[in-house]
Amino acid sequence: MKLNELPIWEKPREKLLRDGKDTLSNAELLAILLHTGTASKSAMDLAGEILSMDGGGIRSLAEASPEELGRIDGLGDAKICSVLAAVELGRRIAAAPGPQREDATNSDEIARRYMHSMRHYKKEHFICLMINSRGGIIEEKEISVGDISSTSANPREVFTDAIRRSAGCVLFLHNHPSGDATPSEEDVATTRRLMEAGSILGIPVLDHIVIGDGEYVSMRGIGLM
User: What's the CATH code of the domain at 209?
Assistant: 3.40.140.10
* Phi, psi (rounded to 5 degrees) for 145: -130, 125
Last-in-domain residue among 95, 123, 148: 95
Same-domain check for residues 119 and 203 = yes
pLDDT band at 182 (very low <50, low <70, confident <90, very high): very high
Question: Please, what's the b/e burial string for 61-80 (b: 16 or more CB within 10 A of its CB; e: otherwise)?
Answer: bbbbeeebbeeeebbeeebb
* Per-residue pLDDT at 168: 92
Q: How many domains does the chain have?
A: 2
In a domain, 223, yes or no: no
**Other C-beta atoms lying within 10 Å of the C-beta of residue 123:** 11
pTM: 0.58
Cβ atoms 189, 223 nearer than 8 A = no
* Per-residue pLDDT at 163: 93
| 130, pLDDT greater than 60 | yes
Same-domain check for residues 155 and 126 = yes
Which structural domain, as residue segments, surrounds residue 67? 3-95
Same-domain check for residues 77 and 145 = no
Same-domain check for residues 81 and 178 = no
Same-domain check for residues 73 and 121 = no
